């Protein structure tokens, strides 16, 4: 591995390069990341990116629901014949939530059942298993860089950027953007006539899952 500065490491970890080689070669470079759309509509926004292992599991989830005579959760357009012409996008494989999941409450309930079942069956134990489960619901937005609104009595959900809520640890499986706050404090001090900076860097508790 080449010598990297802190900024190099941040840029490496903070960016997903779709169909591009990472600055540090990785076996993941060969994976085809499939866009995850909010709905089946051609003008639906992309809200995530899913790896092949997740796509394969979503195929099994749809099969399971059919066997149980339940509605499918996912529209899987993985073959060229099934590609949807998306606005301003080159046609390609895609995954989306089914159109019957047309409210934030329905989407939240469906994904909650799915993620809790994956947790209880240890399907992706290293990501959302019992030891990684946070029991924190994170908002997912139609536009991750847009306004971070939330439904209330006066705005029940229609017209909001807010799309659904999902277990924090499981968001990574779908490539959903998550937000957090990290605080570092510094103080300018003078010792023996020389100025320097003291930094307070918080340390993650050993008992926290992530």
Burial class (CB in 10 A: 0-12, 13-18, 19+), 149: middle
Rounded CA gap, 148 and 2, in Å? 38
Rounded CA gap, 52 and 67, in Å? 23
**Res. 91 pLDDT band, cuts 50 70 90:** confident
DSSP state of 137: E
Question: In Å, how far are 39, 43, 181 from 89, measured between CA atoms?
Answer: 15, 10, 33
Q: Is the pLDDT of residue 10 over 80?
A: no
Instruction: Look up residue 173 and give its two tokens.
Output: 């499986």
- CB-CB contact of 22 with 12 (8 Å): yes
Is 19 or 159 the better-scoring residue by pLDDT?
159
The mean pLDDT of the chain is 86
Place of tokens 């847009």: 146
Provide the pLDDT for residue 191: 85
**Res. 88 pLDDT band, cuts 50 70 90:** low
Q: Is the pLDDT of residue 24 over 70?
A: no
Residue 127's CB: how many other CB atoms inside 10 A?
16
Q: Is 103 helix (H, G, I), strand (E, B) or coil?
A: coil
Percent of the chain with pLDDT over 90: 53
- CB-CB contact of 137 with 104 (8 Å): no
The arithmetic mean of pLDDT across residues 3-11, rounded, is: 76
């Amino acid at each position: 591995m080449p010598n990297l500065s802190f900024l190099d490491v941040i840029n490496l970890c903070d960016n997903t390069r779709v169909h591009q080689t990472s600055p540090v070669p990785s076996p993941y470079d060969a994976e085809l990341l499939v866009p995850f759309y909010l709905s089946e509509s051609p003008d639906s926004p992309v809200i995530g990116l899913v790896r092949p292992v997740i796509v394969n599991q979503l195929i099994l989830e749809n099969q399971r629901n059919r066997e149980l005579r339940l509605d499918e959760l996912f529209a899987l357009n993985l073959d060229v014949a099934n590609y949807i012409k998306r606005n301003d996008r080159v046609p390609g494989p895609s995954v989306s939530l089914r159109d019957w999941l047309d409210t934030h409450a329905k989407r939240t309930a469906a994904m909650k059942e799915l993620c809790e079942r994956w947790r209880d069956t240890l399907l992706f134990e290293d990501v959302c298993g019992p030891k990684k489960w946070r029991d924190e619901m994170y908002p997912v937005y139609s536009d991750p860089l847009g306004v971070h609104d939330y439904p209330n009595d006066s705005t029940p959900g229609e017209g909001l950027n807010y799309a659904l809520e999902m277990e924090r640890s499981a968001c990574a499986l779908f490539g959903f953007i998550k937000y957090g706050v990290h605080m570092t404090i510094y103080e300018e001090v003078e010792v023996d006539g020389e100025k320097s900076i003291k930094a307070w860097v918080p340390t993650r508790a050993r008992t926290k899952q992530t």
